[in-house]
Structure 1
Amino acid sequence: MHPELPYPFLQRDPARGLCLSGVALAEIAAEYGTPVYAYSAAAIRDAYVALTTAFGDRPHRLCYAVKANGNLSILALLARLGAGFDIVSGGELARVLAAGGDPAKVVFSGVGKRADEIRAALEVGIGCLNVESAAELDRVAQIAAAMGVIAPVSLRVNPDVDAKTHPYISTGLKDNKFGIPIGQAAGLYRQIQRHPHLAAVGIDCHIGSQLLDVSPFAAAAERVLALLDELTLLGIELHHLDLGGGLGIRYTTEQAPTAAAWVDALLTVIDRHPLARRLPIWLEPGRFLVGPAGVLLSRVEYLKPHPDDGKSFAIVDAAMNDLMRPALYGSVMAIEAVQPAADTVAQDWEIVGPVCETGDFLGKGRHLPLAAGDIVAVLGAGAYGFSMASNYNTRGRPAEVLVENGAVRPIRARESVEDLFQHERPFPSPNA
């Protein structure tokens, strides 16, 4: 009896094994090799439509968090759907522009924006700079004055709300590095109001990632609206409310909120506020849009069954450098055998990679029917998979493909060892 698959666009075909939007994953692995990331365009599109539909006719903007997955084809797909983008570096800005994104629909977040990144954003007509400290606000003002432009800014406020998520991805507590303490925000908005090269266009708030409860979103919105009241009394007029992202997804057995539940929780708070309900709402979804759409395919290289009471290991060709989440966060992600032989007996396996670290694992204690050469699929790998990949142990990063309308399109070539060397220069011989 197969366990339930956590995502509707994954199917089990008796003849072809596990399929992604109708395409056999075994065929993708055979054609493109492993490890390889495969994404469903339909899954991304459906998630975007579900979230934007939840707003009805309410003015809103969905700014996709590029850090979740910055492949140009995925960015282009979302741009065609009308998405804006949430970026955290100059490199991500360049990606958005290369993919056809509209810079006027881009918000630039992040605690450590360099001067050249701020200049580049202002040069292309960025929609909003989400400022995260008084020092950053001073830098933006100086650069805008030197350029002779008016910088559109929003303060990212820290509401000190517990997102009830992993501490590494909690961003809205006073102990986190992100944002400006909400009690200090009014004074900084007054500075913006008085500066000829700054324009306050909104308020921003982001409290964390992989939230499985919508109540922290509502609590943060309450605190943002209290600040909005204070700013209104000061005569400061804003043009949008950016309530961040962070909606969680199901990886194994979690009960993840729907897009409609997230939006409803926010609008329930906002609709009680006469001014706020007239403002466009911006959100910064990332994982919700792309996480469920992706799988990481990997081949079993060796099996090391333990004859006694120890653990048995399935050593696969994907590693922590290809998918960091399990090693970094202790994340548990569903893993499936793609096309096991009918006579293979399932048993408990530690799914581990070839990297020289004990922490190099993709899953622990997985009851799977595996043989050497089989393909496994790590599910829910569309977000923070490839985007966090590295070249540790001089390993090239995986290929990526996009499945759309029954066809498979390569969207990133696998890195070769020569690719990894191209920017290095050998130390000269003393006899040279």
Structure 2
Amino acid sequence: MSPLPAFLTLRNGELHFEGVPLSRLAHEHGTPLFVYSKAAMLEALAAYQRGLSGRKHLICYAMKANSSLAILQTLVREGCGLDIVSGGELERALAAGVDPAKVIFSGVGKTRAEMRRALEVGIGCFNVESIAELDVLDEVARGMGLRAPVSLRVNPNVDAKTHPYISTGLKGNKFGIAHESAVATYRHAASCAGLRVVGIDCHIGSQITQVEPYLDAMDRVLDLVEAVEAAGVHIGHIDFGGGLGIDYSGDVPPAADALWAQLLAKLDARGFGDRAIYIEPGRSLVGNAGVCLTEVLYLKPGEQKNFLIVDAAMNDLPRPAMYQAYHRIEPVKPRDGEASIMWDVVGPVCESGDWLGHERSLAVQPGDLLAVLSAGAYCMSMASNYNTRGRAAEVLVDGDRATVIRHRETAADQLRLETLLS
């Protein structure tokens, strides 16, 4: 078994996040409950900052990983920009106090209304993913008497060797502009009066645990920079996206600073060391900084399987149902000396896909607390109200202090925007 994530420790017979016992938080705020470590987030960010030290760079946190306001605020206060993929995320970014010039707008389906709002506030860059989107953005910007700063997201056709649902850099993916069409598309963008070309963008996938896909993608992107500039279009910044994985189950992704040492060496060797570097990490900043606490409701032994039923469900932690993803599950207060049994850990939602972990060896009784680890990314941000379940509360731990950063959602909160027929 791999070590516990940073700042999660077993002390006095129970799990603590930084200086706070998790059982206390569960008893004070109920379950399911998401708990995040500020120190873990800042330690993950520091690795990127070390790796890019001395270079012109901008780290834009990909807020789709976890868009809770206090999480955004924590990273923005450390100098981060934000990578957004919707108008709603733009409003969250602004509420968190980000400098709009440090906002990058990604995504394949931006609407005219979203473009107008982003132009009004003065965001730093639109990552554009199709010629059709370029033309609409050009039209919107000219109508406002502005020029939109654009970077084209190119698809390098590099296999990130990750889950098909989170692979984004292959020809068969919906993202980006085909490598073969990039030069012509840059010429088109440069000819549009409402656009201003500022960079090039590439993102090949998520939960990447190997260096080679990044090195391959960098070579292909730099080939394009040479070709685009030979065609007369200057590229100001090079955006290498995000996608670096975390340790869910003994995965060993490269450290962010070690990864960037290799990437920058290649950048220098190819003569582009003077360019500004943009990156958009998400999961690698917050994934291992969060846990979800859940209470054991019932034990249901069976002939073929034993089911351990908890109060967290697929609406709280969608990744297992969506990606067949693994999350390590640990007792908050281990029952040392008691025999473990193999359980399928499942939630109360009326779907067979509502599971958090298959075949987990645990010694537990009803009323015990479990911690689902590595739950800081793509859990709360993808949570839903399926079965009219309220979304969980969230707590941010800083040393021995704990602050509620999202209150538990009630049924009244969910019904507020609906109207009964007369």
Shorter-normalised TM range: over 0.9
C-alpha deviation, 1:196, in angstroms: 2.2
Q: In structure 2, what residue type is equivalent to 1:14?
A: N
Residue 289 of structure 2 is aligned to residue 293 of structure 1: yes
Alignment correspondent of 2:262:
265
SS in 1 for 2:269: coil
Alignment correspondent of 1:361:
355
C-alpha deviation, 1:56, in angstroms: 2.3
SS in 1 for 2:132: helix
Task: List per-residue Cα deviations over 1:195-245 (Å, max 9, x = no partner).
Answer: 222110000000000001011111111111111111121221121000000
Task: List per-residue Cα deviations over 1:297-318 (Å, max 9, x = no partner).
Answer: 0000001123x4x211110000
Q: Distance in 1 between matches of 2:409 and 2:195?
A: 43
Alignment correspondent of 2:78:
81
**Aligned to 2:318, which of 306, 324, 345?**
324
Alignment correspondent of 1:394:
388
Contact 2:332–2:371, Cα closer than 8 Å, also in 1: yes
Alignment correspondent of 1:347:
341
Task: List per-residue Cα deviations over 1:271-327 (Å, max 9, x = no partner).
Answer: 1222x2110111100000000000000000001123x4x211110000000000011
**Aligned to 1:13, which of 8, 11, 16?**
11
Q: Distance in 2 between matches of 1:35 and 1:99?
A: 25
Q: Distance in 2 between matches of 1:316 and 1:198?
A: 52
Alignment correspondent of 2:111:
114
Q: Distance in 1 between matches of 2:33 and 2:316?
A: 9
C-alpha deviation, 1:54, in angstroms: 1.1
C-alpha deviation, 1:342, in angstroms: 4.2
Q: Distance in 2 between matches of 1:159 and 1:402?
A: 38
SS in 1 for 2:273: helix
Q: Kindly report which structure 2 residues correspond to 1:36-51, keeping only aligned pairs within 5 A, or say none.
A: 36-51=33-48
Contact 1:249–1:257, Cα closer than 8 Å, also in 2: no
Q: Which moved more, 1:283-292 or 1:193-202?
A: 193-202
**Aligned to 1:418, which of 401, 412, 422?**
412
Q: Distance in 2 between matches of 1:164 and 1:265?
A: 19
Task: List per-residue Cα deviations over 1:69-117 (Å, max 9, x = no partner).
Answer: 0000010011100001110000001001000011101110000000000
Q: Distance in 2 between matches of 1:163 and 1:299?
A: 36
SS in 1 for 2:333: coil
Contact 1:247–1:262, Cα closer than 8 Å, also in 2: no
C-alpha deviation, 1:4, in angstroms: 4.5
Q: Distance in 2 between matches of 1:14 and 1:369?
A: 18
SS in 2 for 1:425: coil
SS in 1 for 2:320: helix
Contact 1:11–1:22, Cα closer than 8 Å, also in 2: no
In structure 1, stretches of 5+ residues that fail to align are: none
Q: In structure 1, what residue type is equivalent to 2:399?
A: N
C-alpha deviation, 1:194, in angstroms: 2.0
Q: Distance in 2 between matches of 1:240 and 1:252?
A: 35
Alignment correspondent of 1:279:
275
Contact 1:6–1:251, Cα closer than 8 Å, also in 2: no
Q: Kindly report which structure 2 residues correspond to 1:163-178, keeping only aligned pairs within 5 A, or say none.
A: 163-178=160-175
Q: Distance in 2 between matches of 1:99 and 1:55?
A: 24
**Aligned to 1:162, which of 159, 164, 173?**
159
Q: Which moved more, 1:189-198 or 1:320-329?
A: 189-198
Alignment correspondent of 1:229:
226
Residue 189 of structure 2 is aligned to residue 195 of structure 1: no
State TM-score, norm by structure 1.
Answer: 0.96
Residue 331 of structure 2 is aligned to residue 337 of structure 1: yes
Q: Distance in 1 between matches of 2:159 and 2:71?
A: 31
Q: Distance in 1 between matches of 2:229 and 2:314?
A: 49
In structure 2, stretches of 5+ residues that fail to align are: none
RMSD: 1.1
C-alpha deviation, 1:61, in angstroms: 1.0
Contact 2:20–2:399, Cα closer than 8 Å, also in 1: no
SS in 1 for 2:92: helix
Q: Distance in 2 between matches of 1:173 and 1:154?
A: 19
SS in 2 for 1:271: helix
State TM-score, norm by structure 2.
Answer: 0.98
Measured at CA, do residues 4 and 247 of structure 1 come closer, stay the same or move farther in structure 2, by a change above 3 Å? closer
C-alpha deviation, 1:355, in angstroms: 0.3
Q: Distance in 1 between matches of 2:31 and 2:337?
A: 24
Q: Distance in 2 between matches of 1:314 and 1:293?
A: 25
Q: Kindly report which structure 2 residues correspond to 1:132-171, keeping only aligned pairs within 5 A, or say none.
A: 132-171=129-168
Contact 1:63–1:106, Cα closer than 8 Å, also in 2: yes
Residue 298 of structure 2 is aligned to residue 302 of structure 1: yes
Q: Distance in 2 between matches of 1:427 and 1:348?
A: 49
Task: List per-residue Cα deviations over 1:312-346 (Å, max 9, x = no partner).
Answer: 11100000000000111000111001013445431
**Aligned to 2:26, which of 11, 29, 40?**
29
Q: In structure 2, what residue type is equivalent to 1:180?
A: I
Alignment correspondent of 1:219:
216
C-alpha deviation, 1:161, in angstroms: 0.6
SS in 1 for 2:387: coil
Q: In structure 2, what residue type is equivalent to 1:411?
A: I
Residue 68 of structure 2 is aligned to residue 66 of structure 1: no
Q: Distance in 2 between matches of 1:170 and 1:370?
A: 37
